[in-house]
Amino acid sequence: MTDHPRPIAVCALLVAGTVLGLSGIDLVLPAIPDLPDLLGGDEARAQLVLAAYTGGTALGLLLYGALGAKFGRRNCLITGLGIFAVLSFLAGLAPTIESLIGLRFIQGVSSAAPAVFAPGIIKALFDERGATKAIGALASIESLTPALAPVAGIGLLAIGGWTLSFNLTAVLAAALTAALIAFRHLLPPTAKTAQAGSYLRLLISPVYLRYAISQACVVGGLLVFVFGAPAVIVNSMGGTMTDFIMMQVIGISTFIIASNTAGRMVDRFGAEPTIWFGTSMAGLGSVVLLITALSVPDLDPLWLTPLFVPVNMGLGFRGPPGFLRAMMSSGGDDDRAASLTILGMLIIAAGGTALLAPVIDEGLPVLAAATSFILVAAMVSLAVFPRLETPSSPAAQGSTS
């Protein structure tokens, strides 16, 4: 850990920001079926309320990655959260579903700020060992959001209708913005070297691609399986949503254990062996899942839980050091590196899910094959691209405000 004052307090603020951004979909999810009756439109437009936020987030990742280098991550983080608060409040006042869709897109853009800047700030606050542990803890908390936010959304919907989730988000985001303004001096500035960076420079860097592609493939492949699992379990395997919930609860629990163990593994074995171990566990675990799906046509859905555990644990082990090394290989351009890596995860998850949609009724073998293809690609990227031989110091050198 560096001598920076109160790093834990800064991390707590960053966690709060990323959780607010992630909850933008899941907190609103329970209200989606009611929106056509309340605001007009139809079910398709109601779904666009979710899609618009996701699309805006993807744009925001690229936007903030570039703006952080020009205007400073502190300014961009505070401004982004402030805009997010205002747009959350305005979304709750939307008179029509069309206006809500437009507001949700811009809200999604602003929501990306914490996701882009949190990893770089953590990297600047800690040495490599501390940053690995902090990123693991951050990922653990983030993994709970998709599970807990819909439950909270159901309660808010029952208490105050569809607008309450937006109003509460606005209040929390405004409070967090005020806290970041008050403790602005605790946020490390952007490294001067980031101003000379570009997305193109990262895309042609084989060392960066090693970590970014493998990270995006492991996360994206896992999400492809999770997004397709409900339809496969219920429609093809004769199971229920209880089977899916069980798979998710156990999977998230084992991911949290592994991600918080990753720091100790890096201490003992090194970052590269830990990344290889986790990636191989996820990839080989998906291959075992595929072989099982092909060998046992009438597989009981309960078996998905233990079969999917290695994929979750593999991501937990390799996720923190892998993401950190993606930033370390950027030559100080941490924010662009983080945004591009996260965008890769979203593209693989969304693209894989879309490509599978027409054949998802073929059942578990097709879903497992797609997941295996993506996760084995992560292993191939580690084998093909060169490793980071001389990691730079995690501390930021030079600054912009």
CA-wise closest residue to 113 among 198, 188, 17: 17
Report the pLDDT value the prediction gives residue 195, as an integer from 0 to 100.
Answer: 56
Angle between helical axes of 304-328 and 97-125 (0-180°, round to 10): 70
Report the pLDDT value the prediction gives residue 196, as an integer from 0 to 100.
Answer: 60
Report the pLDDT value the prediction gives residue 191, as an integer from 0 to 100.
Answer: 61
Report the pLDDT value the prediction gives residue 31, as an integer from 0 to 100.
Answer: 85
Full-model pTM:
0.83
* Residue 367 burial class via C-beta count within 10 angstroms: exposed 0-12, middle 13-18, buried 19 and up: buried
Domains of the chain plus CATH, in order, are 7-190 (1.20.1250.20), 199-384 (1.20.1250.20)
From first to last of its 401 residues, the chain has per-residue pLDDT tens of 444 457 778 888 888 999 998 888 878 878 888 888 888 877 778 878 888 888 899 899 999 988 888 888 889 999 999 999 999 999 999 999 999 999 999 999 999 999 999 888 888 888 888 888 888 888 888 888 877 887 788 889 899 999 999 999 999 999 999 999 988 888 877 665 555 678 899 999 999 999 999 999 999 999 899 888 888 888 888 888 888 888 888 999 999 999 999 999 999 999 999 999 999 999 999 999 999 999 998 899 999 999 999 999 999 999 999 999 999 998 888 889 999 999 999 899 888 888 888 888 888 999 999 999 999 999 999 999 999 985 443 333 333 33
Q: What Å distances lie between residue 66 and 60, 190, 326, CA to CA?
A: 10, 12, 17
